[in-house]
Amino acid sequence: MKDVLEIGGQLLQSRLFLGTGKFSANAVIPEVVAACGAQVVTVALRRIDLQYPEENVASYIPQGCIIMPNTSGARNAAEAVRIARLAQAAGYGNWIKVEVIADNRYLLPDNYETIKTTETLAAEGFIVLPYMSPDLAAAKRMVEAGAAAVMPLGAPIGSNRGLKTKELIRILIEELPVPVIVDAGLGRPSEAAEAMELGAAAVLVNTAIATAGEPVLMGSAFRQAVEAGRKGYLARPGAIRREGTASSPLTGFLQE
Amino acid sequence: MKDVLEIGGQLLQSRLFLGTGKFSANAVIPEVVAACGAQVVTVALRRIDLQYPEENVASYIPQGCIIMPNTSGARNAAEAVRIARLAQAAGYGNWIKVEVIADNRYLLPDNYETIKTTETLAAEGFIVLPYMSPDLAAAKRMVEAGAAAVMPLGAPIGSNRGLKTKELIRILIEELPVPVIVDAGLGRPSEAAEAMELGAAAVLVNTAIATAGEPVLMGSAFRQAVEAGRKGYLARPGAIRREGTASSPLTGFLQE
Amino acid sequence: MKDVLEIGGQLLQSRLFLGTGKFSANAVIPEVVAACGAQVVTVALRRIDLQYPEENVASYIPQGCIIMPNTSGARNAAEAVRIARLAQAAGYGNWIKVEVIADNRYLLPDNYETIKTTETLAAEGFIVLPYMSPDLAAAKRMVEAGAAAVMPLGAPIGSNRGLKTKELIRILIEELPVPVIVDAGLGRPSEAAEAMELGAAAVLVNTAIATAGEPVLMGSAFRQAVEAGRKGYLARPGAIRREGTASSPLTGFLQE
Amino acid sequence: MKDVLEIGGQLLQSRLFLGTGKFSANAVIPEVVAACGAQVVTVALRRIDLQYPEENVASYIPQGCIIMPNTSGARNAAEAVRIARLAQAAGYGNWIKVEVIADNRYLLPDNYETIKTTETLAAEGFIVLPYMSPDLAAAKRMVEAGAAAVMPLGAPIGSNRGLKTKELIRILIEELPVPVIVDAGLGRPSEAAEAMELGAAAVLVNTAIATAGEPVLMGSAFRQAVEAGRKGYLARPGAIRREGTASSPLTGFLQE
């Protein structure tokens, strides 16, 4: 089966994107990346990272991965644009995860500022993947603004609550011409599989892996779950029925 | 990681049991078994199978698999015991899936007759795996009667409805000293993963694979989902939180 | 609308049965009964109650209610039968809620001992309402044994977890010729309404009301929820649709 | 209990708003309004209504109700503003439900155009209630723009799918200083109760009532469900527990 995901001209085999913000130590990251097979890895930049790159989280990401800096810390479009440009100037390439958050409690994205950021950065040649609140009209504007994909939340960042916005994400998947990547909230491998069965192009996971008792094992679990869910989508599931239907010949044996 | 499931003295690597009742043609079964990696495969016997074994569904099951005949068609303990003995006499070994169904619409098992069947067959040396309605007191009686594992339903047979009895199965897993194998109703790979994350020892799937547009691909999907769910259970998931928690340093970048 | 529930020859207007075991003080019970409109009220008897009836919880139940003693504390049929007979001898009438529990952690009922109890007590002329684990085959046996209704659990007693066994209860409602009363686990008024919309004949609530900050107000809430759910069932809900359908003329106004 | 909802200077006893778009005949509306007790009723205007007011749906709404015209049919802010002004000019008062929909399949609102509409109309003195996609940042902007309340969707309009956006609506309720009214998607009385238990200030229902087999009875069901859910919220529900907790003295009777 040849089933690749194309984003920004890149062909990706892996549909599991990895976030790196919450690991207890950066040293575990290479092993987790290997276990989960991620080809796209997000990093949050700190100013100091740009000065001392050797201590930077990005230095722990294996060769061959696409590093996608995020604009974490930005509270509006201007700040997000500035962070993106600094990242690019520091050599982080042209993929950018736009993350504009004005709410400190639930860390929900600001779709409006995210649209503006997307427009500016896409025009500058960035491959823009906006983190967003799952809203169809806003997502369409992000696509018009040049987003390479959209990344709606399943639940608040870091909550491990699961695919709570399923109803809205299903609609995004149906209606948008770009890949839909579920980002934030997925806490269990089964939830990643469910997102993929729905038709999501990929998922981005961080907290669920980083806060597990065994992050490397959990990384492997998510890898398989994402592949399972993708295959489950492609294999075209059978109908869901209200009543039972016999798998086996019920009256066959003794009455024959 | 050495994580094997022991049932009836057998060490199993695979935690996905396969049912064979609903495939459009028996010829697809070997490929499905290979794709899903099942080591335990259930078959429903028809009387004619015992006379012409070469046309029997069992003849399509690869060498090395444990064939577990079921007592499908039995409506009480006496019939189930009779089918089990006939199967054994025909050379099908000593594993038996007890299935006693008196309800033609939802195909729900009769726990009481199932307990009696389990008692008789376990005393005769069978490895007995009873299909059951998820009820703790009945499950304890099956264990006392000698069940090697119990197989509660997630939803009616063939319905593809999912893990609808999660609340009760969670309790069985916590309270019973034998493996709990979710049998019937699972319709999507994510649902199999969810059962495994809950702590189920294995799952048995038939309809979801057999009625998929591409059964071989779906078999592979369930294999990975079961492994993902098992790893997700072993990796000890992080806490589920009500609010968001930052993955990335929210205020770090621009204010430093 | 004339919509009454007949059980044991009694015509009931109220479909909310009240349990009395958990109130902080018996003195609040009359007000709660008035607020929730219950006509059937369960009480757990203590031996001492039979000696000093004036301090008995039953003495707080308003005239006109049917007092339904339960067999709480019984661990098998013999004990349950003995409690029922003592209650009858003490003047508690002939309604009895059979409750046989052998599991101390989840307090799940033992269907098998419950069937035996039902058989004995029904033969003695009791109006028997067995608390049960939602299993169709067991429920059918309770009906054959003479149960006037069956009372499957929604979730473990006292858990406030809600209608977690919906899938199985729906089937009981469809398949049984006696009223199905959801007992145990309902924690919110909406969950009681949901049970009624499914076609339950009534619900029994105790913990959700007794542990609320304001039990009298919560009793009133459950009363309305049960009535709402019943009406919702009788009013025949419209179809559930996958997509949107306009309530209002979408293109009507400006283009006309 | 004195529990009133204040919006736009009006004190409302009823927390069930009624939509009028889908009834089979306008003649049933007065009876439905009486049954459901609604004090706020939305109407979609057609141009012709303004010319022949006697055939207008609004003429079927009982005296004393607040008629809240909606801007159904508007695809952007300019159209919505124009409809609102025409309605006001025709004597429909100053309440307006802003509804800007650019998506013909799921009929999802356009939050961005809705914010602009809200700003314009609030500045003109309208009492503005915007129908919206549940997104916190957008809702905050609507509040800043002068919305008297916000009306997030539970599921697509007319779908009867239920409170599918619960996770996001819960956050709106916690974080916003204005009433949150769940509008669209609620299909069963229990779902309205659930929204109220979550802390919603009110719900708006149309399709669920209008497409029921018996709309008047269903109107009455929703009225009670809304009241039940509100009381359930105010009565402070008890804790949800993982295990069972005895309602009755388990060991009390026979061992004393």
Catalytic-role residue among B2, B22, B97, B231:
B97
Higher pLDDT, D117 or B249: D117
CA distance D96 to D117: 11
Lowest mean pLDDT among A40-54, B35-49, B85-99: A40-54
Mean pLDDT of B30-50: 85
In chain B, the residue whose alpha carbon lies closest to the alpha carbon of A161 is B240
CA distance D132 to B227: 41
Q: Is C250 among the domain residues?
A: no
Do the bridges between strand C16-19 and strand C40-44 make them parallel or antiparallel, or are there none, so unpaired? Answer: parallel
User: Between B and C, how many residue pairs show a Cβ–Cβ distance under 8 A?
Assistant: 75
Per-residue pLDDT of chain A (256 residues; tens, 9 = 90+): 589 999 999 999 999 999 988 888 888 899 999 999 999 999 887 655 666 666 677 788 888 899 999 999 899 999 999 999 999 998 888 999 999 998 888 899 999 999 999 999 999 999 999 999 999 999 999 999 999 999 999 999 888 999 999 999 999 999 999 999 999 999 999 999 999 999 999 999 999 999 999 999 999 999 999 999 999 999 999 888 887 877 655 555 555 4
Contact C16, C37 (CB under 8 A): yes
D83–C contact, CB cutoff 8 A: yes
Hey, of C32, C49, C253, which one would you mutate to test binding to chain D, going by the most D CBs within 10 A of its CB? C253
Residues of A with Cβ-Cβ distance to D111 under 8 angstroms = 111, 135, 137-138
Please, which pLDDT band fits residue B54 given cuts at 50, 70 and 90?
low
Hey, of B190, B220, B223, B230, which one would you mutate to test binding to chain A, going by the most A CBs within 10 A of its CB? B190
User: How many degrees, rounded to 5, is the angle at CA D10 between CA D4 and CA D15?
Assistant: 45
C-alpha atoms less than 13 angstroms from C-alpha of D29 in its C-beta half-sphere? 23
Q: How many domains does chain D have?
A: 1
Sheet with B66-70, edge to edge strand ranges: B151-152, B127-132, B95-98, B66-70, B40-44, B16-19, B202-205, B181-183
Query: What is the token pair recorded at C3?
Result: 């919509």
Tokens 């809950």, located at residue? B198
Q: State the burial class of residue C194 (Cβ atoms within 10 Å of its Cβ: 0-12, 13-18, 19+).
A: buried
Q: Is C248 among the domain residues?
A: no
Range of the domain at D137: 5-236
In chain C, the residue whose alpha carbon lies closest to the alpha carbon of D186 is C240
Model confidence at C23: pLDDT above 90: no
Please, which pLDDT band fits residue D50 given cuts at 50, 70 and 90?
low
Task: Tell me if B72 and A231 make a contact (CB, 8 A cut-off).
Answer: no
Q: Report which DSSP code applies to C51.
A: H
In chain A, the residue whose alpha carbon lies closest to the alpha carbon of D170 is A106
Task: Tell me if D136 and A165 make a contact (CB, 8 A cut-off).
Answer: no
Q: Is A251 among the domain residues?
A: no
Percent of chain B beyond pLDDT 70? 92
Residues of D with Cβ-Cβ distance to A137 under 8 angstroms = 102-103, 108-113, 133
pLDDT at A39: 95
Amino acid occupying residue A124: E
Residues of A with Cβ-Cβ distance to D170 under 8 angstroms = none
Q: State the burial class of residue C227 (Cβ atoms within 10 Å of its Cβ: 0-12, 13-18, 19+).
A: buried
Task: Tell me if B175 and C105 make a contact (CB, 8 A cut-off).
Answer: yes
Catalytic-role residue among A2, A97, A140, A164:
A97
CA C84 to chain CA centroid, Å, is 18
Residues B52, B55, B56, B58: is their CA dihedral positive or negative? positive
CATH of the domain at C130: 3.20.20.70
Element spanning C10, H or E: strand C10-12
Task: Tell me if C135 and B137 make a contact (CB, 8 A cut-off).
Answer: no
Query: Looking at chain A, which runs of residues are DSSP E strands?
Result: 5-7, 10-12, 16-19, 40-44, 66-70, 95-98, 127-132, 151-152, 181-183, 202-205
| Range list of H helices, chain D | 29-36, 47-51, 77-89, 111-123, 136-144, 166-175, 189-198, 207-210, 215-234, 252-255
Task: Tell me if A103 and D136 make a contact (CB, 8 A cut-off).
Answer: yes
Three-state DSSP state, A27: helix
Model confidence at B255: pLDDT above 60: no
Query: What is the token pair recorded at A141?
Result: 């504007």
One-letter-per-residue 3-state SS of D200-217: CCEEEECHHHHCCCCHHH
Q: Which residues of D are part of the catalytic machinery?
A: 97
Q: What is the mean pLDDT of chain B?
A: 90
Model confidence at D55: pLDDT above 70: no
Residues of B with Cβ-Cβ distance to C80 under 8 angstroms = none
Task: Tell me if A221 and B229 make a contact (CB, 8 A cut-off).
Answer: yes
Q: What is the dihedral of CA B34, B39, B45, B50, to 10 degrees?
A: 90
Asked whether residue B120 is marked as a ligand-binding residue, the answer is no
Query: What is the token pair recorded at A198?
Result: 């729905």
A107–D contact, CB cutoff 8 A: no
Cα distance between the two ends of chain A: 43
Mean pLDDT of C148-174: 94
Q: Is B244 among the domain residues?
A: no
Query: What is the token pair recorded at B24?
Result: 């459009």
Contact D153, D134 (CB under 8 A): yes
Q: What subunits touch chain C, counting only 3 or more CB pairs under 8 A?
A: B, D
* Residue D15 CB partners (closer than 8 Å, separation 6+): D5, D196, D201, D202, D203, D226, D227, D230
Q: How far is CA D49 from CA D69, D82, D128, in A?
A: 12, 16, 22
pLDDT at A245: 75
pLDDT at B82: 94
Element spanning D130, H or E: strand D127-132
- Nearest-CA distance B137 → chain C (Å): 5
User: How many degrees, rounded to 5, is the angle at CA C11 between CA D35 and CA D247?
Assistant: 90
CA distance C238 to C225: 20
Contact D46, C249 (CB under 8 A): yes
Q: Is C12 left (phi over 0), alpha (psi -120 to 50) or beta?
A: beta
Task: Tell me if C175 and B103 make a contact (CB, 8 A cut-off).
Answer: yes
Dump the DSSP string for A163-221.
Answer: -TTHHHHHHHHHH-SS-BEEES---SHHHHHHHHHHT-SEEEESHHHHTSSSHHHHHHH
Contact A116, A123 (CB under 8 A): no
Q: Is D107 among the domain residues?
A: yes
pLDDT (tens digit per residue) in B60-72: 888 889 999 999 9
pLDDT at A256: 47
- Nearest-CA distance C166 → chain D (Å): 14
Please, which pLDDT band fits residue D254 given cuts at 50, 70 and 90?
low
CA distance B149 to B172: 11
* Widest pairwise Cα distance in chain D: 81
Q: Is B251 among the domain residues?
A: no
* Cβ-nearest to A224 among B46, B70, B228: B228
Asked whether residue C206 is marked as a ligand-binding residue, the answer is yes
Amino acid occupying residue B242: R
Query: What is the token pair recorded at B150?
Result: 């119990």
Q: Is B169 among the domain residues?
A: yes
Three-state DSSP state, C248: coil
Please, which pLDDT band fits residue D247 given cuts at 50, 70 and 90?
low
CA distance A38 to A62: 10
pLDDT at B85: 94
Query: Looking at A45-123, which runs of residues are DSSP E strands?
Result: 66-70, 95-98
CA distance D178 to B93: 69
Asked whether residue D118 is marked as a ligand-binding residue, the answer is no
Amino acid occupying residue C67: I
Q: Which of B236-250, C17-31, C86-100, D124-138 has the highest mean pLDDT?
A: D124-138
pLDDT (tens digit per residue) in D202-220: 999 999 999 999 999 999 9
Asked whether residue C56 is marked as a ligand-binding residue, the answer is no
pLDDT at B47: 55
For the entire predicted model, the pTM comes to: 0.92
Residues B67, B71, B77, B78: is their CA dihedral positive or negative? negative
Task: Please say if B140 is a catalytic residue.
Answer: no
Contact A204, A184 (CB under 8 A): yes
pLDDT (tens digit per residue) in B190-205: 999 999 999 999 999 9
- Nearest-CA distance B106 → chain C (Å): 8
pLDDT at C61: 86
Query: What is the token pair recorded at D113?
Result: 């155009």
pLDDT at B256: 47
pLDDT at B53: 62
Q: Is D27 among the domain residues?
A: yes
Residues 122-161 of A with CB under 8 A from B: 156-161
Residues of A with Cβ-Cβ distance to D112 under 8 angstroms = 112, 137-138, 141
Q: Which residues pair with A88 in a beta bridge?
A: none
Q: Provide the ipTM.
A: 0.90
Contact C30, C60 (CB under 8 A): yes
